[in-house]
Each structure stands twice: as C-alpha cells, then as structure tokens.
Amino acid sequence: MKIPALDLAAQYKEVGEAIRAKINEDFSTYGLQVTKFYVENISLPPEVEAAMDKRSSMGALGDANRYMQFQAADALRDAAQNEGGGAGLGAGLGAGFAVGGQMANAFGNIGQNQPPNQAPSGQTAPPSSAEVSVTITSEPPGADIEIDGSYEGNTPTQTMLAPAEYVIRVARPGYKAWERKVIIKAGSAKTFNAILEQE
C-alpha cells in the first residue's frame, strides 16, 4: 500500500484496515480476531513535515510567483538576522546586487497601494513562519471543528496554528464528540483524525 504523505490524513481508514488485516494474520493462530483498528495520527520525520509545511505555504499562496516572493522575503529576513555572515563582504557584494535585481523583479508590483500586512486583493496572506500546518479529518467527514471553543469549519480541513497547547473538539449530530488537548510544536506539521462513534 503506497500513499503519498500529503494524502495520508484522507486515507487513515484504509491504512487502519490494512494494518488490521496484517494483525489478524498473526492473531488467527491464537483464535483471536481484531474487529476494529483506528489510526488517529501518523507522525512523520521532521524533514517530511518541513517539506509538507513548505507545500502548504505554497498552496496558501496560490501560484509559483507568489511562492517565489514568499521565499525571497524569508531569505531577506534570514540575511538581516545573520550579522556575522559574509553576504555583505567582498565577493558577496556582487552576488548581492544580482540577487537584489532578481528579488526586485520577483516582488514586482506586490503590495502597491495596500496597507501594511495585507495581501493583494483576492490573495491569502502567507502564514507566519512560526505557524504550523495542522490537518483535522474525521470519520465520518463533515463534522464541526472547534479549536479552543472557536468554530473553525468542517472536516476535513487544514489550518495554521502558532505553537501552543489547544483543545480540539470535533462533533457531528448523532455521534459522540471527539475532544483532545494537543500541543503544537514549531516546525512539526500535525494531522489529527477524529474517529466518531455513533450515539
């Protein structure tokens, strides 16, 4: 069973069924059977989570040009914070001028006649670099999501959260509510799959 990492959250049921089938092969020799096996979360290596965060950021920006602008802004911030770096010295000056010209072209007309911290009309502002991609799914889908008591939409959904502790509640009429206290850490995308039991 091969599932792309970006599609894992939508495939928890299938993953659970595949695991249950494998477990039952071993358990059958003892006369036992696993009738249900739920997957609530799959943690990925930090490198994969970082790549997924980048991909989520790119998706929020909408197109490759916006992603390039986002990356250029990140590079400027990092360079400004690196006082001891050699980017401003000697050979770095020539490269700096070339990169500066490219960045000026990349930024183009972005943000003209717009208040600070506001994305161009029709575009979503890029997520804060400190925020973490959080995906919330449920079985069955279409359940209401609340994060710290605030309505966030219906499952499945992806949102960006600052590193902190949150209470995530997923509820759907006719089902028992699923509620978890979670800790979101910087640089670590999270996926939560709420398995809702009928009342």
133 and 176 in a single domain? The answer is yes
Number of domains in the chain: 2
Domain region containing 166: 128-195
Per 3-state DSSP, what percentage of the chain is helix, strand, and coil (rounded to 5)?
A: 40, 25, 40
Query: Is 27 domain-assigned?
Result: no
For residue 144, report the phi and psi dihedrals to the nearest 5 degrees. -75, 140
97 and 134 in a single domain? The answer is no
> Could you tell me whether strands 157-161 and 190-195 are parallel, antiparallel, or unpaired per DSSP bridges?
unpaired
To the question of pTM greater than 0.95 for the whole model, the response is: no
CB 50 within 8 A of CB 187: yes
Query: Is 15 domain-assigned?
Result: no
Convert the pLDDT of each residue in 123-138 to its tens digit.
Answer: 444 555 588 889 999 9
Query: Is 26 domain-assigned?
Result: no
Query: Is 162 domain-assigned?
Result: yes
Convert the pLDDT of each residue in 12-60 to its tens digit.
Answer: 888 888 888 989 988 988 899 998 888 877 777 777 777 777 766 655 5
188 and 141 in a single domain? The answer is yes
Convert the pLDDT of each residue in 135-191 to its tens digit.
Answer: 999 999 999 999 999 998 999 998 999 888 999 999 999 999 999 999 888 877 888
Provide the pLDDT for residue 40. Answer: 79
The DSSP secondary-structure symbol of 140 reads S
Provide the pLDDT for residue 43. Answer: 75
Asked which of 1-10, 64-73, 166-175 is least confident by mean pLDDT, the reply is: 64-73
CB 76 within 8 A of CB 103: yes
Helix (H, G, I), strand (E, B) or coil at 59: helix
Compute the distance between CA of residue 191 and CA of residue 193 in angstroms, rounded to an integer: 7
Query: Is 157 domain-assigned?
Result: yes
